[in-house]
């Protein structure tokens, strides 16, 4: 996936002085700014009316009309990443800049989805683009909240007979689960001696539980496990009772799980769910390992976060 920079020129489309400018000068400036941006991005941005002088109003107009000049039926245009993908990156960067009202974000996403629904090629390309940028945890634009809004908008525009509705609905249900502030979904796991436990009844020290779903045969899981095992600060926190760690194996190879048990750090609780989480889609395991920080009542504090980020929030550093 290519990483694109948000075009500085895009900001000119909705940034202006708060005092009302001379009408002629404003028209010329709007035309010049719009032309410069389109030349740079090669994307058919809408022309913002010169009567809109407030930055918030200009931004609102830009986002709600963002895709109106884009021809979704033009397969050559859709396949041009410098236009389509760059345009999408700028679009989501504006939606997720922290100042865009949710209502405006939802309306903008609905307008975008309405543009490509019914146009098979554009639909395939753009839904994959949304997955790559908003749902891939390795993307610098990863944003589950915005991805959930997009899925809701898409489901609202797709015909009821569309074969992909069930797949999008399933993804939306996953995204909605175990979010920050929610009670973590309960599940059963089994310790190496066969003792049956549940997440809800798992004891937690100091009101903090680091929950990790893992597979020792997964390369990225192996790397993160090595990192965590070598972290003296984490080991001391576990030893001193500052937090508890529960590592749950989610795959079905009991032999592989038991073979790797000696490598698990001292003081951790380790178990296997016998594939209950995966089969029941109880948690979104799109990337492994998957780390959650919970409190003692199993409320989610951090969802599917990198280990380094969790460590900083635990103030272990």
pLDDT in tens, the chain (317 residues): 444 444 445 544 554 433 334 444 444 444 444 444 444 447 999 999 999 999 999 999 999 999 999 999 999 999 999 999 999 999 999 999 999 999 999 999 999 999 999 999 999 999 999 999 999 988 999 999 999 999 999 999 999 999 999 999 999 999 999 999 999 999 999 999 999 999 999 999 999 999 999 999 999 999 999 999 999 999 999 999 999 999 999 999 999 999 999 999 999 999 999 999 999 999 999 889 999 999 999 999 999 988 988 888 776 55
Asked if 272 and 189 count as a contact pair (C-beta separation under 8 A), the reply is yes
Bridge partners for 248 per DSSP: 213, 271
Query: Which tokens go with 245?
Result: 């760690």
108, exposed or middle or buried, with CB in 10 Å at 0-12, 13-18, 19+? buried
Per-residue model confidence (pLDDT) at position 315:
66
Asked if 75 and 123 count as a contact pair (C-beta separation under 8 A), the reply is no
C-alpha–C-alpha distance, residues 210 and 313, integer Å: 12
Query: Which tokens go with 191?
Result: 């310790």
Would you identify the CATH topology of the domain 188-313?
Glutaredoxin (3.40.30)
Per-residue model confidence (pLDDT) at position 192:
97
C-alpha–C-alpha distance, residues 272 and 14, integer Å: 53
Per-residue model confidence (pLDDT) at position 271:
98
Q: HEC string of the chain?
A: CCCCCCCHHHHCCCCCCCCCCCHHHHHHHHHHHHHHHHHHHCCCCCCCCCCCCCHHHHHHHHHHCCCCCCCCCCHHHHHCCCCHHHHHHHHHHHHCCCCCCHHHHHHHHHHHHHHHCCCHHHHHHHHHHHHHHHHCCCCCCCCHHHHHHHHHHHHHHCCCCCCCHHHHHHHHHHHHCCCCCCECCCCEEECCCCCEEECCCCCCCCCEEEEEEECCCCHHHHHHHHHHHCCHHHHHHHHCCCCEEEEEECCCCHHHHHHHHHHCCCCCEEEECCCHHHHCCCCCCCCCCEEEEEECCCEEEECCCCHHHHHHHCCCC
Nearest to 11 by CA among 77, 99, 136, 85: 99
Query: Which tokens go with 52?
Result: 């809109």
pTM of the shown model: 0.79
Bridge partners for 189 per DSSP: 197
């Amino acid at each position: 996936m290519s990483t694109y920079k948000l075009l500085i020129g895009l900001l000119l489309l909705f940034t202006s002085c708060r005092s009302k400018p001379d009408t002629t000068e404003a028209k010329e400036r709007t035309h010049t700014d719009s032309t410069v941006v389109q030349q740079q991005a090669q994307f058919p941005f809408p022309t913002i009316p010169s009567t809109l002088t407030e930055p918030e109003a200009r931004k609102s107009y830009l986002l709600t009309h963002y895709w109106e000049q884009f021809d979704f039926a033009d397969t050559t245009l859709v396949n041009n990443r410098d236009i389509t993908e760059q345009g999408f990156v700028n679009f989501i960067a504006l939606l997720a800049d922290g100042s865009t009202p949710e209502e405006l974000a939802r309306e903008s996403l609905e307008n975008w989805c309405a543009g490509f629904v019914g146009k098979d090629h554009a639909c395939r390309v753009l839904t994959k683009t949304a997955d790559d940028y908003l749902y891939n945890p390795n993307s610098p634009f990863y944003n589950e909240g915005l991805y959930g809004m997009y899925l809701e908008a898409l489901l609202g525009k797709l015909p009821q007979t569309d074969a992909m509705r069930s797949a999008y609905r399933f993804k939306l249900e996953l995204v909605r689960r175990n979010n920050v502030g929610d009670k973590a979904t309960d599940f059963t796991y089994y310790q190496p001696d066969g003792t049956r436990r549940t997440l809800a009844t798992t004891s937690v020290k100091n009101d903090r539980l680091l929950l990790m779903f893992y597979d020792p045969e997964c390369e990225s899981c192996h790397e993160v496990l090595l990192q965590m095992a070598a972290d003296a600060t984490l080991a001391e926190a576990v030893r001193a009772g500052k937090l508890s760690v529960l590592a749950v194996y989610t795959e079905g190879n009991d032999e592989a799980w038991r073979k790797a048990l000696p490598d698990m750090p001292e003081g951790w609780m380790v178990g296997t769910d016998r594939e209950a989480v995966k089969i029941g889609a109880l948690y979104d395991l799109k990337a492994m390992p998957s780390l959650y920080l919970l409190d003692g009542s199993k409320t989610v504090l951090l969802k599917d976060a990198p280990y380094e980020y969790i460590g900083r929030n635990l103030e272990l550093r």
